[in-house]
Amino acid sequence: MSLSFRQIAPLVALASVTVAATPVFAALPVGASAPPVTTPAVIAGKPFEFHLADALKKGPVVLYFFPAAFTSGCTIEAHEFSDATAQFAAAGATVIGLAHDPIDKLSKFSVTECRNKFAVGVASSAIIDAYKVKLPILSMSDRTSFVIAPDGRIIFAYSALSPDGHVTKTLAAVKAWRAAHPAR
């Protein structure tokens, strides 16, 4: 039995809608060791080399992946993280966003959308693969936020294509970690 295009087309359309509507889930689970990250980054338009290991020496790290700078959802998310930067800092956490964008584009994004308050860096294909946050078909990452404890373990992971909830959920995870590990 062979099917015509007219018979197959609705099935293909339904399948693509189903895949697009399926929520994205972080492949690296809570408890996993965070892969090392060393990448070009910028804060307030100033370039530097970001080393996850160095940031973890200061406290927990919120490592959030976003698909592309200057897109509507990523801009909303950057604004929300910039609004909450002081709260993350009060809990001893470092925030860095990663996207598969060129550093010059991220430099502009760090000033205009991150409002000079936190760093953004280049999510290379290797970093995206290591954290298992690659969008199907595309070379960019999905929208996934991790909280990594100073011991290098992932203590929180949240994936959703919508920017809603990433900041509130990661901040809650950082505050819960801080409550269990008071600063000395």
Question: Where along the chain do its domains lie?
Answer: 41-180
Q: Going residue by residue through the chain (184 aa), what tens digit of pLDDT does each one get?
A: 444 434 433 333 333 333 333 344 547 999 999 999 999 999 999 999 999 999 999 999 999 999 999 999 999 999 999 999 999 999 999 999 999 999 999 999 999 999 999 999 999 999 999 999 998 878 899 999 999 999 999 999 999 999 999 999 999 999 999 999 998 7
Q: Considering the domain 41-180, what is its CATH architecture?
A: 3-Layer(aba) Sandwich (3.40)
Rounded distance, CA 96 to CA 51, Å?
Answer: 11
Contact predicate 50/96, CB 8 Å: yes
**How is residue 99 written in tokens?**
């996207």
Q: What is the pTM of this model?
A: 0.85
Q: Which amino acid is at 136?
A: P
**What are the catalytic residues?**
74
Q: Which phi and psi angles does 90 have, rounded to 5°?
A: -60, -30
Rounded distance, CA 182 to CA 59, Å?
Answer: 11
